[in-house]
Amino acid sequence: MTRVLVTGASGMLGRAVAARLVADGHDVRTLQRSPSRVAGAVDVRGSITDGHAVRGAVRDRQAVVHLAAKVSITGPLEEYETVNVGGTRVLLDEARAAGVERFVHVSSPSVAHVGRSLLGAGAAPADPERARGSYARTKARSEVLALAAHGRDGLGVIVVRPHVVWGPGDTQLVGRVVDRARSGRLPVLGHGAALIDTTYVDNAVDALVAALHAEPSAYGQPYVVTNGEPRPVVELLAGICAASGVPIPRRHVPAVLARGAGSLLDTAWRTLPLPGEPPLTRFVAEQLSTAHWFDQRRTRDALGWVPRVTLDDGLARLAAWTARQQASAAP
């Protein structure tokens, strides 16, 4: 049994990781601003930016799985800096002071994506200067901080970059795709042929748990995690829409126009008091019109992990979940 702290357990992936660790017999504590509702885990309510809350949360812990982050597609840069960089710094400092032995830092392949296609890429070094968008740049900085802490005061750090995690109840990819498809605002950018890797949530959970228990020689490095099944973006969007019972996108928009529109909308939302999220950002336009898939051999060797849920099985699970949601909502 390992005494583990999971941050960000109110999100889909964090909650699933905490639940898996409880099911595996570990002593799990969670830290986030809203209840995790993970049965068997002890919740600590608070922010990773609050040193007092973090100090109490890491007390007597042997390991930390750090998922808490600001992940929205838009917002003031200061908010990303405060949570993603400042919060990670606080957590690392308190973890070292508390004698934590293992620290799994959950990052993103976007930290090394500079706008060009990634074809069979590995885990390139995080690039805070050239990463695209506030989220990616601040996650890159937080990853640099985490790896710099490896080996200090007995702390071992491993970085895992799950790519485009999705599943039933997901509000990031699936939720946005469904909302836009339902309202007719989900075009295909370009021909939709760009190959994109994604990660079904159960596979991401397995990888993070494997990282927690990996051999010490695997630590001190970043690893990209995906299903290893790149699909054309048009096929991926169609699969999610079909499983969710919403119209499949048919309209195509030139990628160059979408990227230009994304840049303009970025500026508008950054400078004007506009509500909600922009319908498109430059980062999202690039993600949906450029290939990004990854060589998984190094990850699987280091973590002793392979994905157990295929993309098609994941879509079938999403369809079954959607059917249950619709049945429970029926009068």
Average per-residue pLDDT for the chain: 91
Is-contact 152 130, C-beta < 8 A?
no
SS3 for 30? strand
- Cβ–Cβ under 8 Å, residues 138 and 131: no
Q: What element of type H or E holds 260?
A: helix 255-271
How much is the pLDDT for 55? 97
Query: From residue 172, how far is each of 76, 101, 140, 143, 178 by CA, in Å?
Result: 19, 31, 20, 21, 10
In a domain, 281, yes or no: no
Q: What are 78-121's pLDDT values in tens digits?
A: 899 999 999 999 999 999 999 999 999 999 999 988 777 888 88
Evaluate whether 125 touches 113 at the Cβ level (below 8 Å): no
Q: Six-digit token pair at 206?
A: 């397995």
Give 123's contacts (C-beta < 8 A, 6+ positions apart): 109, 112, 159, 161, 221, 222, 223, 224, 294, 298, 299
Catalytic residue, chosen from 80, 135, 219, 223, is 135
Evaluate whether residue 176 is within a structural domain: no
State the pLDDT at residue 190.
Answer: 81
Could you tell me how many residues make up the chain? 331
Query: pLDDT at residue 331 above 80?
Result: no
In a domain, 188, yes or no: no
pLDDT at res. 16: 96
Classify each residue of 287-314 as buried b or exposed e, where b means 16 or more C-beta atoms within 10 Å of its C-beta: bbbbbbbbbbeebbebbebebebebeeb
Is residue 193, in this structure, part of any structural domain at all? no
Has residue 275 been placed in a domain?
Answer: no
Range of the domain at 150: 3-165+198-227+293-308
Return the minimum-mean-pLDDT range out of 223-227, 232-236, 286-290, 307-311.
286-290
Indicate if 200 belongs to the active site: no
Q: Which residues pair with 225 in a beta bridge?
A: 162
Q: State the pLDDT at residue 316.
A: 96
pLDDT digits (tens, 9 = 90+) for 148-189: 999 999 999 999 999 999 999 888 888 888 888 888 888 888
End-to-end CA distance of the chain: 46
Task: Read off the tokens for 250.
Answer: 């048919």
In a domain, 94, yes or no: yes
- Residue-wise pLDDT for 214-271, tens only, equals 999 999 999 999 999 999 999 999 999 999 999 998 888 887 887 787 788 777 777 7
Residue 273 domain-assigned (yes or no): no
Number of domains in the chain: 1
Average the pLDDT over 39-59 and give the result.
95
- Per-residue model confidence (pLDDT) at position 6: 98
- Rounded CA-CA distance 11/24 in Å is 20
Q: Does 15 map to a domain?
A: yes
CATH code of the domain containing 102: 3.40.50.720
Instruction: Supply the pLDDT for residue 77.
Output: 84
Residue 34: predicted pLDDT: 87
Q: How confident is the model at residue 8 (pLDDT cuts 50, 70, 90)?
A: very high
Strand partners, 106: 160
Long-range contact list for 43-47, CB < 8 A, 24+ apart? 43/9, 47/83, 47/87
Q: Is 75 left (phi over 0), alpha (psi -120 to 50) or beta?
A: left
Q: In sequence order, what are the residues at sequence separation of 6 or more whose Cβ sits closer than 8 angstroms to the Cβ of residue 84?
A: 69, 70, 135, 138, 139, 141, 142
Residue 68 predicted with pLDDT over 80: yes
* Closest-CA residue to 154 (of 235, 83, 98): 98
Helix/strand/coil for 42: strand
Predicted local confidence at residue 305, as pLDDT: 97
